[in-house]
Amino acid sequence: MKLILDAEQKELAESVREFLAGTAPMARVREIAESGEPYDGRVWERMAGELGLAGLAVPEEYGGSGAGHAEVAVVLEQLGAALTPSPYFASAVLAANVLLLSGDEEAAKTYLPGIAAGTLVATFAVPAGPGPVARGEVLDGSVPHVLNGADAGLILVAADGAGGRGLYAVEPGAPGLTRTPLTTLDLTRPEARLEFAGTPARRIGPADAGEAIARTLDLAAVALAAEQLGGLRRCLDTIVEYAKLRVQFGRFVGSFQGVKHKLADMHCTLEQAESVVRYAAWAADESPGELPVAAALAQSYLGRAYFQVAKDHLLLHGGIGFTWEHDAHLYYKRAKGSQLLLGSPRSHRADLAERLGLLA
Amino acid sequence: MTDLDEYGRRARAWLDAHARDLPREADLQTARAFMAELYDAGYSGITWPAEYGGQGLSAAEERVFQEAARDATMPVGPFGIGLGMCGPTLLSIGTEEQKRRYVRPLLRGEEIWCQLFSEPGAGSDVASLQTRAVRDGDAWVVNGQKVWTSVGRQADFGLLIARTDPDVPKHRGITMFIVDMHDPGVTVRPLRDMTGQSHFNEIFFDDVRIAPDQVVGEVNGGWAAAVTTLLHERVSIGMGATRTERPTSFAAMSEAARSRGLLEDAAVRDQLVDLYVRERALDLFNARLSQEVRAGIQPGARGSVAKLLLAELLMNGADVASEILGPDAVAYEDGEGVVARALSFAPGMALGGGTNEIMRNIIGDRVLGLPREPQVDRTVPFRDLKVGTQVKEAGA
């Protein structure tokens, strides 16, 4: 079990952090968030091209650099800290993983090089409940929440067919496909509702891709936890700095126990959150048997932890924290959006209960 | 295999051979014999300097040994205060003579130490202590009372802090001494705590004479010495934490819920999941701290994080356990009171070695670097403070 970063991983974190600070500072994040653009195309191009982030965990034979999930977690931590709007999670995490895990060599060869280069932005539409229905290679039904669903150049869909839940690829211009962008609380992360009405789709992998889909969702849970950790840490760092500068009643607010003790509790949360995320990322690479429990643990812990810290971070700023101009609400909204992105905390805890054998 | 892996392998082999069948609550004779064996095998005082009887190794070896010893039963309870707090303090600021005289017997379990800090009127605010030490010819004469003293009844020596100058601000008039617990002026009375047992003692000093060469550190410089000890205390509690047996662990409680047919209840399952998440998150944090130490990063005040989280986990565990056992948790036949004992014990970890509020202050001040609270008693002579029983005098 490896719970601390090695020198190379620290270097990766530092280079991503510097890149984001230079190319996507908060002012730019706000511009994008309020513009209706899903993300900054030039930043994405450089992230994928110059830094090679989109193909980090894609095997070399498909044009990636073959690193592990622990490295993806390092990148996501920085993206979460900077709130960078990008299709990284949809394309490089969800879509790339499900393609790889489907075992469909031909599909991997067709799509992964583009995904790794960042020239193809893909997403994975996976409903929590019953999904679209596949009759042969035609889809009917809808998926209510799809990350980058309106702008993705390739849509992978989990749909129920004769042989079980399968994986299907839908082209953006396919007939019978309706993409409705949703208004999202978190302006930095676009979602859309996708509807399929007799939409032609290409099946990828076996008729029953249930296992690949489940494992993709576990990996996504770990990746999301890393992103949440980054945001949590940034919130805590920011509010600690503020508490050292802001004076009220003739004292630095950080010297009041009411504030100090809350910050201490937030730090305890961070220490545990980081430990849980490192463990889950390690399990994703090194101990597949532990992954289901580790993934459910990571979402059970991080979802609540990040929102709690983001909320306290906003509140401890006082009235200024409630203004549109302050960044606190962006983190608050990202934390809430992330908490619900892969299902509610309740559903992750129910999964955890099942995986711990409490239902047997 | 690295040297550290090899070290861990040998430690586990030794522990398997020597610490498998020992009762955790061994009698004192068994415990002393074990300490001597531990010392002779080279596992007592792993990081302590070799010239005073230690092994002169690094914190990495210490952590490796701790991990190896996690599941071993080592009856080292009576020596915990000496090993965790008094010994490290002597090594930090004791005189050459004190180190040569006291450290080796402490490491071999030949002499037991206790820590004489807390007083009835000075708990979290340790520096408000009122026990006095007055210079009288060739000795210091001590009068006063201490409380919450672990292993006071067994102890041969105590590390005492007493007021030696009431005319200066409270932090500046304190001195640390080594006191012989067998001195006729020392009276030890067991103190029954809320578990019904006597883990602690109260200690009375009546004209106890202490030779000047038993001063630890500087005369009137005892506050700095005490802070040294308290830092060691938290690291010691934090590190020992993972060894604590938990009758209210997730494993124990899910078994209890299963046998009572309560796993059908979604509310019970959710509480169990919550307990699992807390327990696992703390275990993983402790494991990460260990890996950091092995990589050469010292935890410092982050030991207070582990202690605070453990205190909260124990209280949460007791809550969950009582939900699962219901009325059986509080009224039971002899021998079935695991949860009742856990309920009684739970507040202890949130108080001993500094309250949760003090831990939060430490995390805020030393880990996050937040500005300190203004302290009005930093500049007032101790004599003029309203402190403990001194309140009435000051008001008169």
Q: CA-CA distance, A140 to A160, in Å (whole number)? A: 10
- B272 to chain A: closest CA residue: A353
Nearest to B346 by CA among B193, B231, B239, B238: B193
Q: Does A255 touch chain B (CB under 8 A)?
A: yes
**Tokens 């906003």, residue?**
A314
Spell out the per-residue pLDDT of chain A, length 360, in tens: 999 999 999 999 999 999 999 999 999 999 999 998 999 999 999 999 999 999 999 999 999 999 999 999 999 999 999 999 999 999 999 999 999 999 999 999 999 999 999 999 999 999 988 889 999 999 999 999 999 999 999 999 999 999 999 999 999 999 999 999 999 999 999 999 999 999 999 999 999 999 999 999 999 999 999 999 999 999 999 999 999 999 999 999 999 999 999 999 999 999 999 999 999 999 999 999 999 999 999 999 999 999 999 999 999 999 999 999 999 999 999 999 999 999 999 999 999 999 999 997
Segment (H or E) for B17: helix B3-18
Q: CA-CA distance, A40 to A230, in Å (whole number)? A: 20
According to DSSP, the β-strands at A177-181 and B132-136 are unpaired
Alpha helices in B242-355 (DSSP H): 250-259, 266-294, 303-325, 338-349
- A359 to chain B: closest CA residue: B263
Q: Are A297 and B369 inside 8 Å of each other by CB?
A: no
Interface residue of B63, B249, B273 to substitute, partner A, most A CBs within 10 Å: B273
Q: CA-CA distance, A220 to B321, in Å (whole number)? A: 33
- B357 to chain A: closest CA residue: A261
According to DSSP, the β-strands at B200-210 and B139-146 are antiparallel
Partner residue facing B368 (CB), from A3, A267, A301: A267
Contact list in A for residue B270 (CB cut-off 8 A) is 349, 353
Give me the residues of chain B with pLDDT under 50, please.
240-244, 394-396
Q: Does A243 touch chain B (CB under 8 A)?
A: yes
Q: Does B178 touch chain A (CB under 8 A)?
A: no
Question: What amino acid occupies position B220?
Answer: N
Q: What is the pTM of this model?
A: 0.92
- Orientation angle between helical segments B3-18 and B28-41, nearest 10 degrees: 150
Q: Does A251 touch chain B (CB under 8 A)?
A: yes
Q: CA-CA distance, A59 to B14, in Å (whole number)? A: 45
CA distance B324 to chain A (A): 14
pLDDT of B394: 44
Q: Please name the residues in contact with B213: beta carbons below 8 A apart, sequence gap of 6 or more.
A: B95, B97, B98
Contact list in A for residue B269 (CB cut-off 8 A) is 350, 353, 358-359
Contact list in A for residue B373 (CB cut-off 8 A) is 255-257, 260
- B366 to chain A: closest CA residue: A264
The encoded tokens of residue B140 equal: 């210091």
CA distance B284 to chain A (A): 5
Q: Please name the residues in contact with B346: beta carbons below 8 A apart, sequence gap of 6 or more.
A: B314, B315, B317, B318
pLDDT of B377: 86
Cα angle A109-A112-A118, degrees, rounded to a multiple of 5: 145
Residues 109-138 of A with CB under 8 A from B: none
**Reduced to 3 states, what is the DSSP secondary structure of residue B335?**
coil
Q: Are A275 and B292 inside 8 Å of each other by CB?
A: no
**Reduced to 3 states, what is the DSSP secondary structure of residue B153?**
coil
Q: Does B313 touch chain A (CB under 8 A)?
A: no
B62 tagged catalytic: no
**Reduced to 3 states, what is the DSSP secondary structure of residue B123?**
coil
Q: CA-CA distance, B70 to B290, in Å (whole number)? A: 13
Q: Which of B61, B62, B119, B233 is catalytic?
A: B233
Residues 27-46 of B with CB under 8 A from A: none
Nearest to A179 by CA among A167, A190, A189, A168: A190
pLDDT of B24: 63
CB B175, CB B221: distance < 8 Å: yes
ipTM of the complex: 0.95
pLDDT of A128: 85
Q: Are A352 and B273 inside 8 Å of each other by CB?
A: yes
- Orientation angle between helical segments A210-245 and A291-316, nearest 10 degrees: 30
Neighbouring-strand partners of residue B201: B190
Q: Are B291 and A276 inside 8 Å of each other by CB?
A: no
CB A259, CB B360: distance < 8 Å: no
Contact list in B for residue A260 (CB cut-off 8 A) is 360-361, 364-365, 370, 373
Contact list in A for residue B279 (CB cut-off 8 A) is none
